[in-house]
Chain A
Amino acid sequence: MMPKMFFSGVLLGLIVCTAAGRYCASRNPYENFRRFHSSLSAETFFFATVSQMVAMINEALAQGKIVVVVGGNSIAEGRGQGKELWTTDLQTRLGPSYKVLNLAQSGMPSFTGPYIAFLSLALRHQDLYYVAVAQPLYANGVETPFVGYSYWWDAHYKGLLPYYRRLDEYISERIKVETVAEKEILEECQIEERLDSIFYFKDLWSTLAYKSFFTVWTKPTANTFMAPRKIYPDEEPSPLEPVAHRFDDLNLEFERRDALRDFDTYFETNTETKKRQFSKQMLDWYKYSIDATVPEQLRSQVLLIDVRKNPLVLSRILNEEEFGLHEQVSELSVKLWEGIGVSALYVGKDFKPDDYLDGCHLTGPGGAKLSAAVASKIFEMQQINSQRKFRFIQR
């Protein structure tokens, strides 16, 4: 009798949790959402799921808004900007017919997380745009896990993604050349996401973590780590002064490594002129990867931005030749993005040192300059897109 009761209890518990998970997956749990600040991001072990992001976008689309999803890293997140968040400014500039959703997270590559949510909806919604701060000439795979969570496989197994042939082929090719260790990680990730597509434990856990209680200790939340994440306000410790006023705080070694952007990968030395030139092999690979990553039919809805690093920092850490190469990488990247039909911006040529908090993050005024550039580009894209839609209806 006892084992029967026990197993019934286990089974019932599993069914109830699965049902709760599925319910959570269809809803946007976030209240007064501004962005995934540090207490709502992977750096404090909080993982917003792809279903939640899809639900957030759907909610905005249902209100008849033109939705601008912002993805990418801490520059896109607006780390350090506090109340003067650049996406808030962007919302103001775009007006009430638009809804800006800042889903970027610190350290997040440009083609994961919110990009996967965008992929799942963009084909059916032409009024949906994806804007990301992207690293030039750097394309990670959409399937690559971000802090152990693969948004791609999650969306894939939950049936959230339309079939993008070239993207699927590209992922298959990447998997073929993975090392044994990478394959092991991928296998684990795939099993995890397959299970999650049945039991929806991630959506349940993430919602509980936001609304009810948290179970993982992290240093930034140490004293109240079990508290639900919704109680953590989006506030940054103390607004930093622009880096120009506290230059000594910077880790120049790190900034230099970051600014050099794997030059050895991008460039090869011409044996005759002894000058560095772009490696053809690398460029071909990059062109192929970006071409496969952004499906053709969605390119008019994607805007990629390269934000130039702080000119003061660049002038201190790079010599003239290195600075030239640095600029070439950005300019070529923008050219390649535009070449495949994606909108692109290289922002920051007119920015002053006071527009930066450090080597790359923007201050409030710097963020306002970024949002101005992005807003005008979005208007441009929307104009072209609406004409396209009109032609489509005419046919």
Chain B
Amino acid sequence: MIFSTYWFLCASSIFLVLYAISEPKLRVILLLLFCVIFHTHFAGAAGVMPIVCLGAVTYVLARSNDKRAQTLGIILCCLALTFYKYSHFICRELLGVFGKAQAQQLDAWLDKLLPATAPLAISFFVFEFVHYLWDRRHGKPVIEKPVDFIQFALFFPSLVAGPIKRYEQFLPSLTIGTKCTSGLDFSQGLTQVAAGFFKKIVLADNLTLYINSATQEFHAISQHERWIFLIALSLRIYFDFSGYSDIAIGVARMMGINLPINFNWPYTARNIQDFWQRWHISLSSWIRDYVYIPLGGSRRGTLRTVANGVFAFALCGLWHGAAWNFLCWGLYHGFGLAVASNYRDFLGKLGRSVGWIFDRIPFAARATTFGFVSFGWLLFFYPLAQAFEMCKLLFSSTTVQ
């Protein structure tokens, strides 16, 4: 948790004061410098190099007016992400099925080749670079100045955990922010940062302690405690992630720069579609714009729409981590979305009756959506076998001491 380190607290405090009292031109340089320091400090030299290379390639290829160059850029970015984040998974889990010995050999070779952990925030970098290259491919304007591109790529508040930015919204906001940031921006930003820290440190971290303790004795706790655990699990990820986003958005706001909101009361959603319009909004809109719509979206019949949705969510799941449980979590949401979008048509009278109830009693719709999402978090956080076992225990009153 980079934002709750004392280094970040001190370094960003000094930076923000200097930023507030500086001339606009100096602010740009200061921000650039701090972004580089921030990234180097937390990623280390080994983590910075791949991003610098990938950024340079993206910048150069995006400037070209040749669509093939931009396509090449997108492929390179995706390959880099696959290489750093998914090589071991592909090798162990997929190639291992065809030949265990060869897969082990390849895995050992990859061990030597790959750093111990993937470069810091590579998933976010790649998504932002792909967005830029894709938009350029579709005729959107180029980022002229290298300084602007570096600011877009390395903007420190959103670097580690988003929100995933769009350059056409971010760069104008950056220009305005560096030219005229106000005391009001600073105070509102600071309030949001404080709210973010409260969510993260007071709420999420406490829930984490409870969850860690309850996980160990899930068999032994009573059935109602298991349901409390499930609610705690859902609240924990929300407070943790939205707290993090609040800090990022708040810090940017203190500089007079607006970042897109990432969470909008997601647990009040009335269906899965609504949930994904409120949860990690910058990611779900990215998936929609750069995976779902290019695949055909909802324009090619029901079956294709369902397939596109399931594929997009499978990818969304894998983006969170290289493991089967993330893939299953993505598929779970993909199928959930398919059911939520089509049950009224497919289930005939029964479907329409259920839909009628959900329309008339919003609480039932909200509770059902919350329940569905909460079960999904079991898949997200635990290995598959454990998640299924926990799910089973939620409906069992048996306790084992």
Contacts and interface: CB of A to CB of B under 8 A. Distances in A.
Interface of A: 2-4, 6-7, 10, 187-188, 191-192, 195, 215-219, 222
B227 to A, nearest CB: 17
A187 B209 contact: no
Given A2-B187, A3-B184, A192 B6 contact: yes
**Interface secondary structure of B, over-half rule:** helix
Contacts of B184: 2-3
Contact of B183 (A7, A191, A222): A7
Contacts of A3: 182-184, 186-187
16 contacts: A2-B187, A3-B182, A4-B183, A6-B190, A188-B7, A191-B6, A191-B10, A195-B6, A195-B10, A215-B202, A215-B206, A216-B205, A216-B206, A217-B206, A218-B209, A219-B209
B363 interface: no
Which of B202, B207, B210 has most chain A Cβ within 10 Å?
B210
Tell me if A's interface is mostly helix, strand, loop or mixed: helix
Nearest to A45: B209
A38 to B, nearest CB: 15
Contact of B210 (A4, A187, A217): A217
B254 to A, nearest CB: 11
Contacts of B182: 3
Contacts of A2: 184, 187
Interface residues of B, number: 18
A10 B190 contact: yes
A279 B64 CA distance: 67
B181 to A, nearest CB: 11
B209 A216 contact: yes
Interface in B1-32: 5-7, 9-10
A3 B253 CA distance: 14
Nearest to A219: B213
Interface in B188-223: 190, 202, 205-207, 209-210, 213
Interface of B: 5-7, 9-10, 182-184, 186-187, 190, 202, 205-207, 209-210, 213
A192 B187 CA distance: 25
Nearest to B214: A219
B185 to A, nearest CB: 9
Nearest to B216: A219
Contacts of A10: 190
Nearest to A218: B209
Contacts of B209: 216-219
A191 B4 CA distance: 13
A363 to B, nearest CB: 27
A10 B184 CA distance: 14
Contacts of A7: 183, 186-187
A3 B20 CA distance: 13
Contacts of B202: 215
A218 B182 CA distance: 42
Given A10-B190, A195-B9, A217-B207, 15 more contacts: A2-B187, A3-B183, A3-B184, A6-B187, A6-B190, A7-B183, A7-B187, A191-B6, A191-B10, A192-B6, A195-B10, A215-B202, A216-B205, A216-B209, A222-B210
Contacts of A192: 6
Contacts of A218: 209
A104 to B, nearest CB: 24
A6 B186 CA distance: 10
A191 B6 CA distance: 6
A190 B186 CA distance: 29
Most buried by B among A4, A187, A217: A217
A4 to B, nearest CB: 7
